[in-house]
Homo-oligomer: A and B are copies of this chain.
Amino acid sequence: SRTYKLAVLPGDGIGPEVMAEALKVLDAVAARSGLSFEYNHQLVGGAAIDAVGKALPAETVAACEASDAILFGSVGGPKWEKLPPNEQPERGALLPLRKHFGLFANLRPGICYPALTSSSPIRPDLVEGGFDVLCVRELTGGMYFGQPKSRTTLPDGDIEVIDTMVYKKSEIVRIAHVAFKAAQLRRKHVTSVDKANVLTNSVLWRETMVEVAKEYPDVTLAHLYVDNAAMQLIKAPRSFDVLVTENLFGDILSDEMAMIAGSLGMLASASLGKPKGDGLYFGLFEPSGGTAPDIAGMGIANPIAQILSVALLLRFSLGLEKEAASIESAVKKVIDDGLRTGDIFSGAPGTKKVNTKEIGEAVIAAL
């Protein structure tokens, strides 16, 4: 059987320490299943800036190209905040990676585990029983890369700035299919978010969602304006199944949803490129949270988001559904057993505060 090649980009802050646990979990899965993985460790983000002067070295890109998927940690931190935005770790590494590999579909599960509803900032009666929303964000279109982007000094001395929101119908069609296919494997409901009462982009977005929906008669489709969606996510997170939206709205709403779920340290994400034809995608897999510079190096960060990123990688890029599900069940068991890193520890009876390594070991034991 073949050896799967993974580009491993731990990055900054807590990235390296949570990545270490995620790889140990993957090693354990490999040992149990007889699968073989090869890790190609590469620099990215602030660590790459410090070592070789740029956030995304050519060598890192080449290693990703030679791999089956990218396992990403997180990038950024106060040390690099004074660089020009283009050169900073987040923008300088993430946006070029998305563009280079055509990672158009960002899947962010917003899961609030039944045992962790007390970590949610939402009133207990609104999140009782937990929830599981999948946010599907278009990741390579809209205002992120749209041209022209310009800054001009006008004759009267005023300055004018322009950004452009552009979508092609074909880009909307392909993300719609990702959302509807995902919904078919879940509770069969898609909520499309737009601002069709103001944006020409959104009018085409809405039309296209309606059109693609016809190919999925088993899935229901609802539309929300983005301002209303920002409200409904708070009031009724349990009413959502799959939420699909364009790049910038997705940036805002998926973070809002993560906050509502209550623990960024638990949430993984997948950024998928063109389908490979066999139902699999080249992709980049990363935690939804940041580098948490305040606790970096202390060994107390929550590694679960990084561990669940491995599960998403196995599922979407390698088609190893059984192994992916085994990691997800193991994580669930660890939570049900009451183990908590500081970010989700509330002192509730039956729970115990543990560190990064202890979670990693517990997940392996629960596999």
Which of A162-170, A277-285, A348-356 makes up part of the contact surface? A162-170
Query: Which of B121, B159, B198, B203 is in CB contact (< 8 Å) with A169?
Result: B159
Q: Report yes or no: A258 in contact with B231, Cβ–Cβ below 8 A.
A: yes
CB-CB < 8 A to A90: which residues of B?
A: 197
Nearest B residue (CB) for A232? B259
Nearest B residue (CB) for A159? B169
Q: Report yes or no: A163 in contact with B85, Cβ–Cβ below 8 A.
A: no
How many residues on A have C-beta within 8 angstroms of the other chain's C-beta atoms? 57
* Residue A343 interfacial (CB < 8 Å): no
Chain A residues numbered 182-200 whose CB sits less than 8 Å from any CB in chain B: 195-200
* Residue A120 interfacial (CB < 8 Å): yes
Report Cα–Cα, A196/B235, bound state, in Å.
Answer: 29
Q: Report yes or no: A234 in contact with B121, Cβ–Cβ below 8 A.
A: yes
Report Cα–Cα, A120/B126, bound state, in Å.
Answer: 11
Shortest A128–chain B CB gap in Å is 13
Shortest A252–chain B CB gap in Å is 5
* Residue A256 interfacial (CB < 8 Å): yes
* Residue A123 interfacial (CB < 8 Å): yes
* Residue A226 interfacial (CB < 8 Å): yes
CB-CB < 8 A to A158: which residues of B?
A: 168-170
Given contacts A85-B196, A123-B122, contact A166 B162 (CB under 8 A): yes
* Residue A150 interfacial (CB < 8 Å): yes
Digit string of A244-288 for contact with B (CB within 8 Å is 1, else 0)?
A: 000011011101101110000000000000000000000000000
Report Cα–Cα, A96/B169, bound state, in Å.
Answer: 29
Report Cα–Cα, A198/B259, bound state, in Å.
Answer: 22
Q: Report yes or no: A230 in contact with B252, Cβ–Cβ below 8 A.
A: yes
Nearest B residue (CB) for A260? B234
Nearest B residue (CB) for A171? B158
Report Cα–Cα, A126/B150, bound state, in Å.
Answer: 41
Q: Report yes or no: A201 in contact with B259, Cβ–Cβ below 8 A.
A: no
Known: A95-B198, A227-B251, A234-B234. 17 other contacts (CB 8 A): A85-B197, A121-B126, A123-B124, A143-B198, A151-B200, A159-B204, A160-B169, A161-B167, A161-B200, A162-B166, A195-B248, A195-B251, A227-B255, A228-B255, A230-B230, A230-B256, A234-B256
